[in-house]
Structure 1
């Protein structure tokens, strides 16, 4: 029989809201039910929201291809994703004859690198190489302690180990280790971008 009075409805609502608090078992069951309900809604609602959005992209793309008044074509939104960095094969550097300027920069840089009188500060030592070093590599060189450099002079002529159109690898002998110096074309001239001990 339908409930026709407000007092009867209130009693039914009180019974419904009070049911979870009657016993620990009722409370645990209610919490489990609510957790399942929230999980189901979290899975179903995003899928239901995405479907209308996907359905609208077709007509919108076709309507945007129409020309607006004035004769200019409207831009068509692209639905394709941008390619990843490795989606196309990497270009192999082109070999080239060694650039004499690059070799000369490597030798000058190695001479300045080996020039570190006792007590010289990192800033003074770095100033001797600043004009020959890329801006990106200067912060790396600023962490070097000149007192730890195991060479004092260049002992021979540089030798090119590999040469490309925009970079040259040069080996420079010193009275310590041989240096393998990478010189790159920055557009403003050849500069040292890296160095290591040659094997």
Structure 2
């Protein structure tokens, strides 16, 4: 039955607009419904129209920003760029171990095991400061010297890997063996990492 009076139309409109405000459940339901409608439109419209909205706005912006010289503007290429590396990764070349790098590893290991009872982290770290890279010092500042199980170096360093700008050395201690990585920096050879050797 059609609505014939303005008063009847107003009542219908008031019921429609007032529906979300009747209860919290109605409000949440209306918001969820509106979010679904907006999402469906955002996904469906570009598929129906055949072009993504971002491409349309980008093309419109570039065409409006380009000066009109009477020459047709070049059409952007839709060809995709290659996703893999075109140049192979270069493997570092091995080199004879630097005696200076091995000596730095030995000195660093001697400083690492030197931690008398009650020594602070700062005092312990000062013994290695000139032998450690600036980037690795903050990592070393988190080490508690009281937790180090070794107290002395028990043998000569052994070179495990040697490259032009880095050397990995294993130093035996009375605790675990240390695997020390020494790198060449502008200031000379410095320790950039250490771990327990297997």
TM superposition score category, shorter chain reference: 0.5 to 0.7
Query: What's the counterpart of residue 178 of structure 1?
Result: 177
Residues 24-51 of structure 1 show CA distances to partners (whole Å, capped at 9, x for unaligned) of: xxxx999978854542333214664774
Supply the distance in 1 between the matched residues of 2:64 and 2:18 (Cα, whole angstroms): 58
Change (3 A) 1:94 1:53: same
TM-score normalized by the length of structure 1: 0.67
C-alpha contact (below 8 Å) 1:172/1:178 kept by paired residues:
yes
Supply the distance in 1 between the matched residues of 2:80 and 2:125 (Cα, whole angstroms): 45
Query: What's the counterpart of residue 120 of structure 2?
Result: 121
Supply the distance in 2 between the matched residues of 1:64 and 1:154 (Cα, whole angstroms): 71
Supply the distance in 2 between the matched residues of 1:161 and 1:11 (Cα, whole angstroms): 91
Supply the distance in 1 between the matched residues of 2:98 and 2:77 (Cα, whole angstroms): 44
SS, match of residue 15 in structure 1:
helix
SS, match of residue 11 in structure 2:
helix
Match of 2:39 among 33, 38, 42: 42
Map 1:183-194; keep pairs closer than 5 Å: 183-194=182-193
Match of 1:11 among 8, 16, 19: 8
Change (3 A) 1:78 1:177: farther
Map 1:61-80; keep pairs closer than 5 Å: none
Supply the distance in 2 between the matched residues of 1:129 and 1:174 (Cα, whole angstroms): 17
Supply the distance in 2 between the matched residues of 1:197 and 1:97 (Cα, whole angstroms): 24
Question: Across the two proteins, how many residue pairs are aligned to each other?
Answer: 179
Supply the distance in 1 between the matched residues of 2:127 and 2:77 (Cα, whole angstroms): 52
Cα offset for 1:65? 9.0
Change (3 A) 1:148 1:34: closer
Supply the distance in 2 between the matched residues of 1:11 and 1:163 (Cα, whole angstroms): 91
Supply the distance in 2 between the matched residues of 1:131 and 1:118 (Cα, whole angstroms): 23
Change (3 A) 1:42 1:14: same
Query: What's the counterpart of residue 169 of structure 1?
Result: 168
C-alpha contact (below 8 Å) 1:20/1:30 kept by paired residues:
no
Change (3 A) 1:141 1:56: closer
C-alpha contact (below 8 Å) 1:168/1:183 kept by paired residues:
yes
**RMSD of equivalent CA atoms:** 4.1
Map 1:73-112; keep pairs closer than 5 Å: 87-88=84-85, 90-112=89-111
Residues 107-143 of structure 1 show CA distances to partners (whole Å, capped at 9, x for unaligned) of: 1100111112232222111100011112222222222
Change (3 A) 1:162 1:63: farther
Supply the distance in 2 between the matched residues of 1:97 and 1:158 (Cα, whole angstroms): 15
